[in-house]
Amino acid sequence: MARALRVREMTLEEMGVIQRLARSRTEAHRMVERARIISMSMEGRLAPTIAKEVGICEAMVRTWIRRFNEKGAKGLEDERRSGHPARYTAEDVGEVIAASLTKPLDLGLPFSSWTLDRLEAYLNEEKGIAMKRSRIGEVLLSEGLRWRSQETWFGERVDPEFSEKRGPSPSSTRTHLRAV
């Protein structure tokens, strides 16, 4: 018959960490659950009993006990998982943010404000960063920058000499008489 899996002998420091984690109300739920598993095993309970009480499968209980036995309290933390590598480097993201915070006129461009399409074209042509419009928006939002969805005619005009350049109003527009 196979020997029951039990937690190894612990130091007083490890016992303190496990007890603190098992009773915590502020730690992540997964860490509290794993510490409870170790604590119950320390009390002499077997994997099937622990699994029923915690509400997970026996295999997971055994996994956490083994990891604790090998690595101590550090073994209860999540291990690094594999995944797709980042598509854009930190330097690329920095370039996007720097360009969006720079006035287009300062870069010698013929417009006074950015749109996502203009920013995408600039980054692709001038900086060689082939980032999609939607991703540029996500990067800016993650940095706390909000994008204006449309320009408005209300408020101060961009060109202070607009009225002189525009010229007089057309003759079809009525002049308003002032009340005395």
Helix axes 90-101, 133-142, angle to 10 degrees: 80
88/147 Cα distance (integer angstroms): 21
166/139 Cα distance (integer angstroms): 39
In this prediction the pTM is 0.50
pLDDT, tens digit, for every residue of 106-116?
999 998 889 89
Residue type, 118: R
> Quick one: CA dihedral 126, 132, 137, 142, positive or negative?
negative
Mean pLDDT of the chain: 87
